[in-house]
Amino acid sequence: MSDDAQTPEGVRPEVAAAVGDWRAYVEAKMGFRNHWYPVRFSNELAEGQLITLQVLGEKLLLKRIDGKVYAIRDRCLHRGVPLSRKPDCYTKDTITCWYHGYTYRFQTGELVNILAVPDSRLIGRRKIQSFPCQEAKGLIFVFIGDMDPVPPLSQDVPPGFLDDDVMILGKHRVVNSNWRLGAENGFDALHIFIHKDTTLRHFRTFNFPIGHTPLPGAVQVVEDADGPKGVIDDFAQHKPIWDGVIDGRVVVRGPRSQQVQGTSASVGTSIWLPGVLKVEQFPLPGLTQFEWYVPIDGKTHLYVQTIGQQVQTDEDRQDFASNFESIYKPHGLDGFNADDIWAREVTEPFYADDYGWVDEMLCEPDTTILEWRRLASRANRGVQTPQDLR
């Protein structure tokens, strides 16, 4: 670990050693390895198209061939140049390095030829790293790791996401913070304070306390061997706070409506490995928000925001798509979540040199966050390190 600490993606070993049972979480600056991550929507990659992207520090080349998506590392084995800088695709299935003719098959990563050295002993014996791809619910997922066999996608998404009758729509954007600040911002019950001025509050009628604290029993850890691993925080078992008081005087008050049951529309928030949040009944009753914080490198993440709704008919699907474009996306994913994105980016500097993990001063409701850190440290399938990129 000490060598890594000198690289931009390395982690200070003295900090990792200081946090006890969530050490792996501190070390996972670039995310957890051997997990499935959504990287693009399916409709962003047409047949035969080649795109590049970065996830967990890996620079990937994705191509759709005969309908199926394949991903290989965008770096020639020979002299390390990006294949994408001048793509030479002489056949549908292969890419040839523009520099010296090393040729790879997309489906396997196999070195199938070196054009000017057709009898090289390397041919057929070397592979560029390839990454399993799978499409589901309109998203392209990539498995970053080398585990064999590859675990099923169903273990890496929140319960309900893959349900047959659920339709998913969404968007993505790059956020300038570490992925963990995204995950914790989303799961954090107390951060509702930053949304107190959201325009969403004026669009819909709901109770909006300035914060709420979990009561005993609110938090549940899910760690079944064959399913997704996560922490569920049941907002119905929270104590909401409506009035903010300073020096004995109420200085801020959460809006409260008689027409709505419960403390807020959300009945529960849960966070799942490898870093995906599920918010029930949000942004409106009947909807579920699923959002991923996909590490790009140690200091940026791809924020993949999706909303799911149960649909039965084509009309249901059309209604959902129409509402998504006109309401859920502008008011929720853009408007409401803009506060979250801003908060993550402002928090980034404090954690950038790792010391934030030991210098922070958590308070009582943050125990839910600590449960997540412990679960993630325990149940992940590996920590991505700079060595994994060599």
360 binds a second copy (CB under 8 A): yes
Q: Which of 359, 351, 363, 299 is nearest to 18 (CA)?
A: 359
- For residues 255 and 246, the answer to whether their CB atoms sit within 8 Å is no
The site for a second copy, by CB under 8 A, has a size of 69
For residue 209, CA distances in Å to 253, 342, 389 come to 8, 21, 45
77 binds a second copy (CB under 8 A): yes
Strands, E assignment, 209-295: 211-214, 219-222, 230-233, 238-241, 243-246, 249-253, 269-272, 276-280, 288-295
Q: Is 363 exposed, middle or buried (0-12, 13-18, 19+ CB in 10 A)?
A: exposed
162 binds a second copy (CB under 8 A): no
Q: Which of 159, 344, 343 is nearest to 268 (CA)?
A: 159
CB of 59 to a second copy, least distance (A): 10
Which residue lies nearer to a second copy by CB, 83 or 139? 83
Tokens 């499935």, residue located: 36
- For residues 60 and 50, the answer to whether their CB atoms sit within 8 Å is no
252 binds a second copy (CB under 8 A): yes
x-or-dash string of contact with a second copy, 179-208, rule CB under 8 A: ---------x-xxxxx--------------
66 binds a second copy (CB under 8 A): no
Q: Which of 211, 214, 268, 274 binds a second copy (CB under 8 A)?
A: 211
CB of 198 to a second copy, least distance (A): 13
What is the CB neighbour count within 10 angstroms for residue 175?
A: 24
The CA distance from 368 to 270, in Å, is 10
CB of 39 to a second copy, least distance (A): 22
CB of 384 to a second copy, least distance (A): 17
Selected range binding a second copy among 42-50, 132-140, 166-174, 210-218, rule: CB under 8 A: 210-218
Q: Which of 24, 28, 30, 210 binds a second copy (CB under 8 A)?
A: 210
The CA distance from 209 to 241, in Å, is 6
Sign of the torsion angle spanned by Cα atoms 209, 218, 344, 338: negative
CB of 215 to a second copy, least distance (A): 13
Binders of a second copy among 334-353, rule CB under 8 A?
A: 343, 346-347, 349-351, 353
CB of 176 to a second copy, least distance (A): 14
251 binds a second copy (CB under 8 A): yes
Which residue lies nearer to a second copy by CB, 95 or 139? 95
The CA distance from 374 to 212, in Å, is 22
81 binds a second copy (CB under 8 A): yes
The CA distance from 135 to 130, in Å, is 16
x-or-dash string of contact with a second copy, 86-125, rule CB under 8 A: ----xx-xx-x-xxxxxx--------xxxxxxx-xxx---
Q: What angle do CA 343, 346, 352 make, to 5 degrees?
A: 120
- Binding residues (CB under 8 A) for a second copy: these are 5-7, 75, 77-82, 85, 90-91, 93-94, 96, 98-103, 112-118, 120-122, 126, 188, 190-194, 209-213, 241, 244-247, 249, 251-252, 343, 346-347, 349-351, 353, 355-356, 359-365, 390
